Structure 1
């Protein structure tokens, strides 16, 4: 693991039956980077994020480290991964809020790693958590919805709530797996702007998987492209011209190439 890296992946491979979702992926992520993971469906983007957060194991022979400590090694999740997870916020496409709970309670759940499960289950949030929750909701334009059940909110509101939860968690790395795939264009841009703001102003390291290549080029300083489980591009957005993107996605990509994209 390099000195400035907060995440280090070495030879990560993951097989599901006969299919190899990851194929020898090696990657270093430096503190304060905002990285887009792009690639066709089934290229391994979500598998890689889930492996970094130890939601699934990689095959033996590979290693993943976070903040200089092992997440998993040789097919096994490390014993100290629970502590590491308190510093890694995971944001999902489907928001992962508890629908019957209020938005306030959902965001407060981000503090469970520090205050303990019993307090959280009873809703006995300490003053520090209450202040952090309301500050995060206010920051993301959600304060007026604090007492509203999560399942009554729009998709964009729920996703902003999920990001607020990661902020209350005090995460140093945010892994966002297709966070805008279920959102309308206005809500999607707002979520991407929030992630970029957290990266630029709060110094958080952000890795976001995206199907919208234009969002990757617009919001991220580094783009990593996967194809059939392998890294086929790792560099600045400017290096992804139309021809390179067609190589990654296939010739049909040209049919849906957006207006104003790099030529």
Structure 2
């Protein structure tokens, strides 16, 4: 059985603004990053601001392309990108990838039900998806997903009328409807209060443990990463400086990773 994720020597450079072409410089957001996910795990990506966490996560779906000569990035047995170019199988890979972002990425004018049902796109004929012609079985699937995340009673409400926590759970419901095998979550709790954030993280744990869904999540909160993830990838200056179990990170190691930012890396949720 192929690995869920395989990343080999991935680098990504961004051009920096300069006052003149002769002074043009680049910033290396990722520097020869390699890792594999051989089974459904909960991987927490941590590190100081600008360490490359979000760049790495977005590279897994092909939203960001690596530098020429780097890669490949293989997800669910399909090549998403290699040598700075999208792979031929990227669309097939994305069909099995659930995306959860800090800004929720729901369509505000649409109902929560419709937003969750959008997880069916790519698995049904395009015309049915365009006009929202869901079958009775598909409607039941959507409602079961909303019930799983605890907001089935909000199904008819427009997404923009929901709280941030409800919208984030709606995004997770969409991934359930999609039947995603791997969820990529980019700072999913950054805009939430600690209590709501805890509920969202518990949902991701549920999907991993009860449904066998792999989860890779970027987090600024080290304590949340260590509590809810079983494996930690720590990045610093675009390089992986720690890859191991959450309980293998001690205060001294974390101080080395974060430096002066260490005090801001904790949410310190009292629960």
TM-score normalised by the chain length of structure 2 = 0.92
Contact 1:178 1:209 in 2 (8 A): yes
Distance 2:179 2:261 in 1: 42
Q: Which residue number corresponds to residue 42 of structure 2? A: 34
Cα 1:171/1:256, change in 2 over 3 Å: closer
Distance 1:217 1:211 in 2: 11
Q: Which residue number corresponds to residue 259 of structure 2? A: 250
Query: Quick one: which of 80, 102, 105 aligns to 1:71?
Result: 80
Q: Tell me if 1:6 matches 2:43.
A: no
Contact 2:234 2:257 in 1 (8 A): yes
User: Between Structure 1 and Structure 2, how many residues are aligned?
Assistant: 259
Q: Which residue number corresponds to residue 21 of structure 1? A: 29
| More divergent stretch after superposition (165-174 vs 244-253) | 244-253
Q: Which residue number corresponds to residue 223 of structure 1? A: 232
Q: Tell me if 1:111 matches 2:120.
A: yes
Q: Which residue number corresponds to residue 130 of structure 2? A: 121
CA shift, 1:159, in A, is 0.2
Distance 1:123 1:145 in 2: 18
Q: Secondary structure at the match of 1:83?
A: helix
Cα 1:73/1:257, change in 2 over 3 Å: closer
Q: Tell me if 1:155 matches 2:164.
A: yes
Runs of 4 or more consecutive aligned structure 1 residues displaced over 6 Å after TM superposition? 258-261
Q: Which residue number corresponds to residue 184 of structure 1? A: 193
Contact 1:4 1:31 in 2 (8 A): no
| More divergent stretch after superposition (252-261 vs 225-234) | 252-261
Cα 1:255/1:192, change in 2 over 3 Å: closer
Cα 1:255/1:174, change in 2 over 3 Å: closer
CA shift, 1:125, in A, is 1.0
Query: Quick one: which of 44, 55, 77 aligns to 1:47?
Result: 55
CA shift, 1:129, in A, is 1.7
Where does the alignment leave 5 or more consecutive residues of structure 1 unmatched? none
| More divergent stretch after superposition (238-247 vs 122-131) | 122-131
Distance 2:46 2:125 in 1: 36
Distance 1:88 1:255 in 2: 31
Contact 2:4 2:37 in 1 (8 A): yes
Contact 1:246 1:254 in 2 (8 A): no
Per-residue CA distance 1:16-61 (angstroms, 9 max, x = gap):
1111111110010122111000001111111111110011211122
Where does the alignment leave 5 or more consecutive residues of structure 2 unmatched? 16-25
TM-score normalised by the chain length of structure 1 = 0.94
Distance 1:96 1:67 in 2: 23
Cα 1:256/1:103, change in 2 over 3 Å: closer
Contact 2:98 2:183 in 1 (8 A): yes
CA shift, 1:116, in A, is 2.9
Contact 2:194 2:269 in 1 (8 A): no
